[in-house]
Amino acid sequence: MTLIHEEQLKNFIDGKWEEPSSGKATAVINPATSETLVNVPLSAASDVEKATSAAKKAQKSWALVPAPQRAEVLYRVGSIMKERKERLSQLLTMENGKVIEEARGEVQEGIDMAFYMAGEGRRLFGQTTPSELKDKFAMSVRAPVGVVGIITPWNFPIAIATWKSFPAIVAGNAVVWKPATETPIMAYELAKIFEEAGLPKGVINVVFGSGSTVGEAMIEQDDIRVISFTGSNEVGRGIAAKCGQRLKKVSLEMGGKNGVIVMDDADLSLAVEGILWSAYGTSGQRCTACSRVMVHEKVKDELEERLQREIAKLSIGNGLDESIKVGPIINRAGLEKVKSYISVGKEEGAKLLTGGYIMENGDHKKGNYFAPTLFTDVKPDMRIAQEEIFGPVVSLIPVKSFEEAVEINNGVEFGLSSSIFTQNVNQVFAAQRDLDTGIVYVNAGTTGAEIHLPFGGTKGTGNGHRDSGVVALDVFTEWKAVYVDFSGKLQRAQIDVE
């Protein structure tokens, strides 16, 4: 079954669907079945230039539309997404591989973001403040940056796209968007929805292609004043350096090495549920995935036994099947990367309890499946406890105390998400304070962010900006200070103060 009618997608530039100037394309593969779904353009730099020119032209008039009217477009986008939720979810599962239950959750996240950011059209609050001089009014307001470039990953192709595009658009910007080549169908569908919702042509432009060509061209375009990127640390650092040279604003979200702390007084049944969902949901291909568990030595053996029992029950296969709990890895390269870390873990002396292999029998041989994996007796400095694997691999690290667990949690390059399972209220509040991550969960796993809170992290996870929540507007707006002197005479701040 397929829901795709086009054999090859086209770029969406200035309200038109256009062939890439390169004439090149590549296949989009269903990771569950290895079937080709559609072909996606591999665009050239000239396509980016054309999209940027269209965005710059459209942004000038779009910024003059009152923000509540701009918001009405997002309300319509959200309504259309809601009507098409099941179809979008199935398409998402087909191109990404995540199970249908998770796909529905991701689409719902996009719907929620549409309505949330539409509400900002009647806020976009600035500030008023007293002036130090008589008969003078002072305020600050948000102003759009202009043209925004967004680069989105394959693991959350609709949710992250909405985190970035919706606040940018409601704030009065125009967008040039490079989706991941592995998951372009969600971008195609969202562009069609924007078109149907009445977004003026040129306000959003979609250019498909590789990061090395399309992404680089976006950075080089002087008229793109912001780059918002979600992806690997290595690529993000390169983007930051190049944007810095051009004085572009840049927002980076670059993954995590997320830890769950399980204390000796924890509800182990709840902890097991939280670990399973955080570690093996989306086959571990989340930036918020749990990949480390710091477990108190008093409950280590019991937690190991419980986890192994529950892992054995996980059904693995094509995510369109409602009974499946773990889907495939996105592609063969990802599969081989996960496999390589199994050898690394063994060589370093970690004990493999379960999993650790590519699943190649029966229906699994058609796709990219990796068995949910659990290591134990892992030391904090081992590579499997330090590096982002981006697959269904968890390392159990025994600890003697809460303080040791927090120290180990913080002893990695990343700082996105962390969690603690405990009944001790004092440790709960200490954990909230001491865990060096942008997100902290108590008696829950490391994943499950809500759209009205800021999303992002510390250290190697990002550069201080946040997706989601009202603070996302900070990336796509500039603060403008406005002074209105109605005294009828020249007044000089700091000088003519009585």
Residues in the chain, overall count: 498
Cα four-point dihedral sign 105, 111, 112, 117:
positive
Q: Radius of gyration of the chain from Cα atoms?
A: 24
Spatial CB neighbours of 144, under 8 Å, sequence gap ≥ 6 = 59, 63, 171, 172, 173, 476, 477, 478
Tell me how far apart the alpha carbons of residues 34 and 101 are, in angstroms, rounded to a whole number.
21
Both tokens of residue 47? 């396509």
Give CA–CA dist 420/443, Å, rounded: 6
Q: What CA–CA distances, in Å, run from 149 to 145, 208, 398?
A: 11, 13, 44
**Cα gap 30→247, rounded to integer Å:** 39
As a whole number of angstroms, the distance between CA 127 and CA 142 comes to: 9
What positions carry a catalytic annotation?
Answer: 253, 287
